[in-house]
Structure 1
Amino acid sequence: MQQWKQRLSRAALLGLMAIPVGLIAIYLINPRNVPSLDPRLRILGISVYRIPAGDMMPEFVANQVVVVRTAYNDRHGPQRGDIVVFRESRSGYAWIKRVVGLPGEQLEIHQGQLLIDGTRVAEPYLLPANTQTDYSTEFARHVVADGSYFLLGDNRDRSEDSRIFGAVPQQAMIAKVIFKLEPHGAE
């Protein structure tokens, strides 16, 4: 009986040691190829992200918290309308924007209307008050490179996005927003 208890306790101890070793291995191997050092994203494939500014209003407000998931990028690429977190190459920071242009598409903004391959795209998430300046109402025709996505903020007047830094390569995509928490103080 004593020998059985010793074997059981050794097995339990080995099991407990295997868990952190396994988690460290998963983190280092990074099977999801997440361009982030966040262990929640690399190990679990899910994390939270705080919206840093108002460039995604009205969908999100500054300091609102969202839940993001990485695995969607493994099965298929980002789709038009997805809201994604990505690593912006100039600053190295994680940013959040909406996917509006897919690889190979011809995109332009004319008189405030987003056109993809010459066809108007409905954008019900935009507020007219957020698209008043020339910066928001006109953007010259641009072809999205293969393997890249054109990302825009919903608050077009106040968003630094692909109109400035260009299309974002898929490998810079960290995660997709899957859930948003109500802003603090919201009723």
Structure 2
Amino acid sequence: MKKLPIFLIGATGVIALTVYLINPFGTATLDPRARIWGIMYYHIPSASMMPTLNPGDYILVKTFAYANTMPEIGDIVVYKPPQLNVPFIGRVMARPGDNISVQDSIAIVNGQRQEENYILKPEGVCYIRDFPETTVPDEALFIVGDNRCNSRDSRMFGTVSQNNLIGKVSYIWDSSDKD
């Protein structure tokens, strides 16, 4: 069996390291899968995105999705909240320049009540049902969970810089909800 020349192995390592350091997809994570390959997977740890994503689900995230574009309203994204170094998952509800408020857990964007058939209807104690109107600044997004009563999101920590986006959720490959 023919062995690979040592310089070929070294060159491959140098190329991978260079791509990692350049971070061509502009992702906000240090994970080499995201920086080199442009995709990664996550395990859903909480109920913040129920019923869309359930605790225990595995999702595929495209870290290259927003390399040259801005997320659309309704996109489900993985991001790092301000002041935290832990990835969160949420739905983009407003983009730069949009006015957003939340009344009784329903988002109102630019004066229009949003049809959100995907949210988990509030039951029992809901710590944040309302959020006063705010204008999303340039280069930022307002991101919330589908389970409004059980989600830490922009209603708590404010808007999220586009630089803190890790990627777009593109596929649920293993769900704890087998329906």
| Maintained 8 Å contact 1:84/1:177 | yes
What do residues 2-52 of structure 1 show as CA deviations (whole Å, max 9, x unaligned)? xxxxxx988x65444322221111112212222211000000000001112
2:103 maps to 110
Question: Which aligned pairs between 1:37-186 and structure 2 lie closer than 5 A?
Answer: 37-129=30-122, 133=126, 135-136=128-129, 138-184=130-176, 186=178
What is the CA-CA distance between 1:100 and the residue it aligns to?
0.4
CA distance in 1, matches of 2:134, 2:124: 19
CA-atom RMSD, angstroms?
2.2
- Alignment partner of 1:128: what SS? coil
What do residues 74-99 of structure 1 show as CA deviations (whole Å, max 9, x unaligned)? 12111101111111232211111110
What do residues 82-137 of structure 1 show as CA deviations (whole Å, max 9, x unaligned)? 1111112322111111100111111112244321111111111113246973622x
What do residues 147-184 of structure 1 show as CA deviations (whole Å, max 9, x unaligned)? 10000000000111100100000000011101012324
| Maintained 8 Å contact 1:55/1:159 | yes
| Maintained 8 Å contact 1:27/1:43 | yes
- Amino acid aligned to 2:165: M
Listed as ranges, the gaps of 5+ residues in structure 2 are: none
Listed as ranges, the gaps of 5+ residues in structure 1 are: 1-7
CA distance in 2, matches of 1:45, 1:87: 17
| Maintained 8 Å contact 1:130/1:155 | no
* Paired positions, count: 178
- Alignment partner of 2:128: what SS? helix
- Alignment partner of 2:143: what SS? strand
| Cα 1:43/1:131, change in 2 over 3 Å | farther
Judging by fraction of residues, say which structure has more helix.
Answer: 1
**Range moving further from structure 2, 113-122 or 165-174:** 113-122
| Maintained 8 Å contact 2:145/2:152 | yes
| Maintained 8 Å contact 2:105/2:122 | no
| Maintained 8 Å contact 1:98/1:154 | yes
Please, what TM-score do these two structures have when normalized by structure 2?
A: 0.89
